[in-house]
Structures are given as structure tokens and as C-alpha cells.
Amino acid sequence: MQRGIDTFFHRM
Amino acid sequence: MLEARLGSTTLLKKIVDALKEILSQSTLDCSASGIQLQAMDNSHVSLVAMSLRRECFERYRCDRNVALGLDLKSLMKVLKCASGDDAVTISAADKADKLQLRFESAGNERTADYELRLLNLEQDHLAIPETDYACVVHMPSTEFARICRDLATFSESVVIACSKDGIKFSASGELGSANITLSETSKGDVSLQVEEPVTLCFAVRYLNSFTRATSLADKVKIGLAADVPLLVEYPIEDHGYIRYYLAPKVDD
């Protein structure tokens, strides 16, 4: 399963 | 206002080429310290962060922070109007809706001015934490590009396993399987700094997109740590970089 990059780096 | 001059348009073409497969549109954030860009691809699996410090430019002036929303394909069309050895100056007034590009030939006999319409793009910045990568590998950028290209023949996914013995790239599919291992070389073109071994799985098509930056740098730096995005970093001359981050795949 491909995870999203925004599950690691959060919105500022 | 912003005014930034590069001695060669080729460098700017290489940078845009390294971005435009992952990003169709993006915002350049210009400040007194230089030009930065950060954006995710459309599917939010990877992230690109670029930095060009003011020292990258022959001349650089930015009195007030400006955000320039650009369509990268359109920018490339304008850059194709220049010769590689033309100097390029990009400029924009405060709150501009157009970017000016001026190309000057080596002997200054020819000056060409273009305007590119700017876009109002939503800015969606992510905070990239400082990461202590358990494995840091430096290798020739052409070698990394070759491995990514070759493994894409076998599978959509590539497993990267790094230990003190080497970095191994593996892919397997209907066709068969491929395993490529690089170990540290005495001449130093491949170097490994390994605190602990790491094995992660990634979608190879993103890696292949990252290798569009190959012409920017002889060496590429790869950072791996358990359960964090992969870092693939290409330096841009002495004062800049493009960093690509790719989220790992996990078992279903």
C-alpha cells in the first residue's frame, strides 16, 4: 500500500 | 521587486526539467536569502524541495518577499527560446502578475525579453522535520539513474536494503527478478554511512522521475531511515539543492 507523503510531513 | 541573474540559461533549464515531471505548477518563494520551492506531486506521494541561495546568482536582489506561481511547462517553452549559454535575468515587480525573462547572448549582441503570465496558486507548505537518517549513501547520479531505469522493467516497486555491506536494490515481477548491489568503493564514488540497516519499499516510477535531475550533479545523496520518507538529494552547484522525498510503501 502506498502511503501519502502528508502522513509523514504535516501542514504548517 | 525581484531581480535574479544566472550566467547560463542551461542551469535553469536543467532545474525546470528536474521539476516538471513531478510538478505541473508550483510557486517560487523569493526572499532576500534566495529562491525556494516546495510542492507535492498531484497524488501527494512525493515532495520536492528546492533551494537556490542568493550566492547561486551572478546578481540577486529581492527587496520584499514575492511568491511567483508558475506553470512549469510554460516556463520551459520560454526557456527553449534561449541559447544555453545566454545569461538569463528573471524579474518581477511587487504583486506582479507577470514574470519577466531577459536572455542576453554571450557578447551582448542579442537581447530577448519575454513575459510569462503568473498564476495564483494555493500554497500548501509541509513542515519537513530534521531527520537523522540511519543510512546515508552517496553514489554517482548516473549510476542511480541507471538502476532505477533498469529495475522499472521488472516491477512497479523496488526494495532498497542498506547495510554496512552495501546498498541493494531489488525488484521482482512476472518477467523475473533483479538485484543490484553497490558496495563502498576505494576510490570513493560510492560511500555508505550506516548506523543501522534499513529495508524499505518504494514505487519506482517516482524514483525515475527524480532522476530527471541527474544532469544537475555528478553525485546523488540517498537518506534512509525506518518508516520515514526516502531522501534523494542533488546539489545545485555550491549553494543550492533539489531534495526529493518519497513515502515508502507498506505491506497491505
Residues of B with CB below 8 A from A12's CB? 125-127
Do B127 and A10 lie within an 8 Å CB cutoff? yes
CA of B160, closest CA in chain A: separation in Å? 15
- Give SS3 for B224: strand
pLDDT tens per residue across span B122-176: 877 889 999 999 999 999 999 999 999 999 999 999 999 999 999 999 999 999 9
B71: left (phi over 0), alpha (psi -120 to 50) or beta: beta
The predicted structure's pLDDT at residue B185:
86
pLDDT at residue B51 tops 90: yes
Grid coordinates representing B110 are: 542579442
Do B40 and A6 lie within an 8 Å CB cutoff? yes
pLDDT tens per residue across span B182-194: 999 888 899 999 9
pLDDT at residue B28 tops 90: yes
Residues of A at the B interface, defined by Cβ within 8 angstroms: 1-12
* Radius of gyration over every alpha carbon of chain B, rounded to an integer in angstroms: 20
- What CA–CA distances, in Å, run from B179 to B151, B186, B190? 8, 22, 17
**CA atoms of B214 and B208, how far apart (whole Å):** 10
pLDDT at residue B178 tops 80: yes
Do A9 and B203 lie within an 8 Å CB cutoff? no
pLDDT tens per residue across span B212-247: 999 999 999 999 999 999 999 999 999 999 999 999
Do B125 and A12 lie within an 8 Å CB cutoff? yes
Question: Do B49 and A8 meet the contact criterion of CB atoms below 8 Å apart?
Answer: no
Q: Considering chain B, what is the average pLDDT of its residues?
A: 95
Average of per-residue pLDDT across B95-121: 94
B166: left (phi over 0), alpha (psi -120 to 50) or beta: left
Q: Model confidence at B108, in pLDDT bands (50, 70, 90)? A: confident
pLDDT at residue B63 tops 80: yes
CA of B191, closest CA in chain A: separation in Å? 27
The predicted structure's pLDDT at residue B197:
98
Residues of A with CB below 8 A from B133's CB? none
Nearest in space to B212 (alpha carbons), one of B22, B9, B11: B22
**CA atoms of B44 and B71, how far apart (whole Å):** 18
Mutate to test the interface with B, among A6, A7, A9 (most CBs of B within 10 A): A9
Q: Model confidence at B252, in pLDDT bands (50, 70, 90)? A: low
CA of B38, closest CA in chain A: separation in Å? 12
Nearest in space to B63 (alpha carbons), one of B27, B26, B91: B91
Residues of B with CB below 8 A from A5's CB? 40, 44-47, 126, 229, 245-247
**CA atoms of B92 and B125, how far apart (whole Å):** 22
Do B126 and A9 lie within an 8 Å CB cutoff? yes
